[in-house]
Amino acid sequence: MAVNKVVASAGEALDRVNIPDGATIMMGGFGLCGIPENLIRELKRRGTKDLTVISNNAGVDEFGIGLLLQSRQVRKMVSSYVGENALFERLYLTGELELEFVPQGTFSERIRAGGAGIPGFYTPTGVGTVVAEGKETRLFDGREFILERGLVADFAFIKAWRGDFWGNLVYRETARNFNPMMATAARVVIAEVEELVALGALDPDQVHTPSIYTDMLFAGSHEKRIEQRTTRPRMAGAGGGER
C-alpha cells in the first residue's frame, strides 16, 4: 500500500526529522527562482546552527538563504555564484563564513554524480586556476583534467510546482534548476510545492522527480520575489500606454 507523504507544514516536516547542528543541507534554487523559502524560514526560526549549505547561491540580504546568514546559522557555503548578497561578502571577507567556490557546471555535475553514487570525475574546468589547487590532476589524450568529488548531503530542501500524495514532483520552467539533482543526492528529501494534486493527476511522462526520492512534502505559499526588476522606459508617442 502506498504511503501518503504529505505533512501539514514546514514545521511538521522539521519536527519529524530534527535537523541537528552541523548538518549538511542542499537547497534548490537559482537566484530567488525555485528556492525552498518556507523551509528556510522555519530553519531560521529553530536556530539550527553550524550548517553547511550546498546551494548555487546565497539568496539576497533579506530573503532566502540570506536569512540564515543574518542569524549566523551557516558555517560554510558550497556555491557557484555569490553575487547580490552584501552580507555574504562581508562574512566571507571577515572570516566568519567558509566558502567552497565551485564553477557552476562542475557544481551541477558534482551533485548529479553524488546522486548517482559516483564518488568523483575528471573535468578540464578550473585547470590552471585556484579551483585546481590541492586537487589531483591527470592527463587524458594530452589534456589536463582535475578530479572533482561528488556532492551528497544529510538533507535536501526542494521546491517544486506540483506534487501528489506519493511525492512525485513536477517543476515549472526555470524553477527546475538544481532541484531534481539535489533530490537524488541527500539522505532525507523534503519538498515544498505550490500545489498538491490528486494521485493520477500528474502525467507519468512529465514527472521530474519520482516519488522514490521524496520523503515528505507540503503545500506552501510563495512570494515569488524578483532579484532585479528592469523595465523599459516609456516610449515617446506611445499614446499614454506602455509597450
Q: Tens digits of per-residue pLDDT, 52-77?
A: 999 999 888 788 899 999 999 999 99
Q: Angle at Cα 174 formed by Cα 170 and Cα 180, nearest 5°?
A: 45
Cα–Cα dist 33/75, whole Å? 23
pLDDT value for 227: 65
Q: Tens digits of per-residue pLDDT, 214-234?
A: 999 999 877 776 666 677 887
Q: How remote is the C-alpha of 60 from its chain's centroid?
A: 14
Which residue ranges form the domains of the chain, and what is each CATH number? 10-119+150-219 (3.40.1080.10)
Would you say the pTM of this structure is higher than 0.75? Answer: yes
Q: Tens digits of per-residue pLDDT, 115-174?
A: 999 999 999 999 999 999 999 999 999 999 999 999 999 999 999 999 999 999 999 999
